[in-house]
Amino acid sequence: MQLQQSLKIYNSLSGKKEIFRPINKGHVGMYVCGPTVYSNVHLGNCRTFMSFDMIFRYLKHLGYKVRYVRNITDAGHLVDDAEDGEDKIAKKARLEQLEPMEVVQRYTVDFHNILQQFNFLPPSIEPTATGHIIEQIETIKDILQKGYAYEANGSVYFDVAKFNETNEYGKLSGRKLEDMITNTRELTAQEEKKSPQDFALWKKAEPQHIMRWPSPWGDGFPGWHLECTAMSTKYLGETFDIHGGGMDLKFPHHECEIAQSEASTGQSPVNYWLHANMLTMNGKKMAKSTGNNILPGEIFTGDNEILSKAFSPSVVRFFMMQAHYTSILDLSNDALLASEKGFNKLMDAVESIKNIETGGKSDFDVTGWKQQCYDAMNDNFNTPILIAKLFDAVKHINLVKEGKATLTQEDKEAVQATLHAFIFDVLGLENKNDSTDDSDKLSGVVELLIELRKEARNNKDFATSDKIRDQLTDMGIQLKDGKEGTTFSLS
């Protein structure tokens, strides 16, 4: 039986699900806004990139040839996404007394390292903003020539009001220019912009600004919004299929990208706009300033004050895939513990199906189940529904193991192949069961030593207690005493 395939995607621009029809049959062009590399990659950003890694994987699974472009912003992104002030990377370089490109290198390496641990597929192209200064200058010249920008004291600004005479600024975020104007302050005499809504295409570099390039308007640096327009156009064309990013980028970043492209080419740049939602922790926004924050590496090692133990990258990935990419997801210790149990059940079933005995008939509708798996993913990449369907198969595998159900050899192979495709190829999980026995033995030994240390402390034998802790530390095993007892992590 031929499975029915019709992929529907929620398009932020239209506000509804639409049947996906690529511009070129069999090919997909996808651009995702990458990180600004001035600090360790944030877990919330990882969730966004993981959502698009899953989408990239599924499109490839469906047989599309995908050109996936995810940029690195290594200049031009000002602090607080403002129009004035200091470049995020330049500020970090000044504070740490480094060259800006040392900052870029350090945090680009961290970004790639974390994504590799999460088992991301690399994008087809990973362009940098500093590597495309020429393209950005040419785009600015084009927008100026068409009358949608103006120069002021060595800077170039996009003229939003002029653009809005013939186009619609705000259509992605649902904002009206008139309302934006009403809700903004008056410009002061010192400001260069004609209107508070205008945004920088090129900023004049003040004498103290470290990162600067020559241009027809003097030494300066590109505007943050411009970078993505120049790079996406270069590698995917004036109109391409999918543009993705975090929900927080919808306005002003993506709105400005649309305006720049339409002003430059006269065409709408993207057919499908996709936005991933945010990650919270313990019901609150994640923020370094409040301490409600955790880095991916701190989850993997257990070296943190928030979680009771270390969790593997695949467990964290499974946790994230259990929520729809457009939903807010809350990270907590209980949620990760529950995900770890579910992940282990899934991996146990993957191992168990290899050895189950087959029979002459099946009491599991494999074709119908497989169609339901595709139906879930074809409905705007609905991974939580997919995972629920995968557990339908897990339940049946366990019934077969107990002798309470049957599968034919042909159906067993079909279930096995489908599980493999969705769990590993699409969801991007990794089966670490090969090393599970050893890690279980290690956990058992350490738990025994923790118990012996506890007895020593109760008996006021602090010399033995300290000796156990210190020798474990020397072996790279850190003990952490807390209200709930002692936990350990590998350093």
Q: State whether the Cα torsion 304-305-310-316 is positive or negative.
A: negative
Whether the per-residue pLDDT at 250 is higher than 70: the answer is yes
Residue type, 422: F
Q: Among residues 123, 47, 129, 126, which one has the least CA distance to residue 89?
A: 129
CATH architecture of the domain covering 280-431: Orthogonal Bundle (1.10)
Q: Tell me, yes or no, if the pTM score tops 0.75.
A: yes
Mean pLDDT for 190-202 is 91
Task: Name the residue with higher pLDDT: 325 or 490.
Answer: 325
The reply to whether 280-431 shares the fold of 15-276 is no
Mean pLDDT, the chain, whole residue set: 93
Res 12: pLDDT = 98
Res 393: pLDDT = 98
417-437 burial by CB neighbour count: b if 16+ within 10 A, else e?
ebbeebbeebbbbebeeeeee
Res 451: pLDDT = 87
Least confident among 187-196, 205-214, 265-274, 444-453: 187-196
Whether the per-residue pLDDT at 207 is higher than 90: the answer is no
What does the alpha-carbon distance between residue 306 and residue 482 come to, in Å, rounded to a whole number? 11
What does the alpha-carbon distance between residue 15 and residue 364 come to, in Å, rounded to a whole number? 38
What does the alpha-carbon distance between residue 193 and residue 377 come to, in Å, rounded to a whole number? 46
pLDDT tens digits, residue range 401-442?
999 999 999 999 999 999 999 999 999 999 975 444 455 667
Which residue is associated with the tokens 């903004």? 184
Q: Among residues 227, 233, 223, which one has the least CA distance to residue 261?
A: 233
Q: What fold characterizes domain 15-276?
A: Rossmann fold (3.40.50)
Domain regions of the chain by residue span: 15-276, 280-431, 436-490
pLDDT tens digits, residue range 295-329?
999 999 999 999 999 999 999 999 999 999 999 99
